[in-house]
Amino acid sequence: MKTITTSIASIVLATAAALTATPASAADSKIYAGEMCSPNKDDSTVSHFWGRLKNASATTTNFECPVVRDQTGTKINHGDAWVINQNYNQSLSCTLGLLLPLSGGVSGASGFFSTRSTAVVSSAPQKLASFGSLGHLLNGYAAMICSIPGVYNGQQSGLVSYHVNEA
């Protein structure tokens, strides 16, 4: 009887381990609403619509977007940004990058790109901007910056959502 009980316990433990285990190469993928981003200048006019971010200013504005890295020792496989470019005279560009923190206390707490991938979208109502793979950067952070054109013929360009996949 003891052998049967031990065998059943072993089977239960093995099954539980198999069901809860994740492969070593499992990817960590996140999708963010466009309104997670913020303009990098105070005088920008922004409009929000169901999680979307739109540039309501007359001029191009850079928007900085946070990226949560759960696996800092790994690389970023790829990323995408759903954008709307209503300005037929200007391109919209987004850059996904890994950044190195700079020293210098709180006043100097900004970073510079270690590696990055840029996608440019010419005039098109809604388009997917895709980024290539970025190497890993231990103790660095990730961010996306989009340069979104200003209002054109009453139409606003913007960012619908963005997606980042870590390996």
The residues facing 111 across adjacent strands are 101
pLDDT, average across residues 35-64:
89
Distance between CA 118 and CA 130 in Å, rounded?
8
Nearest to 79 by CA among 35, 144, 23: 144
- The CA-atom distances, in angstroms, between 19 and each of 6, 13, 16, 22, 23 are 20, 10, 5, 8, 11
pTM confidence score: 0.74
Q: Tell me what the pLDDT averaged over the chain comes to.
A: 77
Q: Which CATH number fits domain 25-166: 2.60.120.260, 1.20.1370.20, 2.40.10.10, 3.90.79.10?
A: 2.60.120.260
Q: Which residue has the tokens 């759960």?
A: 70
Q: What pLDDT does 124 receive?
A: 65
Q: What pLDDT does 70 receive?
A: 80
**Is the CB of residue 44 less than 8 Å from the CB of residue 57?**
yes
Residue 85 pLDDT > 80, yes or no? yes
Higher pLDDT, 73 or 15: 73
Q: 16-25, 30-39, 59-68, 102-111: lowest mean pLDDT where?
A: 16-25
